[in-house]
Amino acid sequence: MVEVRIRTNRGTGTIKVEVSDLKFSGSEYKKIQAKRKAEVGSINVSTGRGTGKKNLKDIPEPTEKPKPRRLSTNRGTKTVEL
């Protein structure tokens, strides 16, 4: 069990929740997100604090981020691209 803080009320408040399985970030969550999106199909979702609408099929698929290839040098003051 891990204790996690969750933001509430448009980011002004927090609550603490006990979580047994951390599946709300990272590559595992992206797989779950893509699966849910495929199951739902074509529906409208609200955007921008509920003031706008967007069709779910128009939102691009989640992609994996490229890993940076950099090396620190000079006591960590300079980075070199590999």
Q: What is the pTM of this model?
A: 0.43
pLDDT above 90 as % of the chain: 5
Q: What is the pLDDT of residues 5-36, one digit of tens each?
A: 888 888 889 999 888 777 777 778 888 888 88
> How many whole angstroms separate alpha carbon 2 and alpha carbon 31?
22
Tell me the domain boundaries of the chain: 23-81
62 has a pLDDT exceeding 80: no
User: Residue 80 has what pLDDT?
Assistant: 86
Is 62 exposed, middle or buried (CB count within 10 Å of its CB: 0-12, 13-18, 19+)? middle
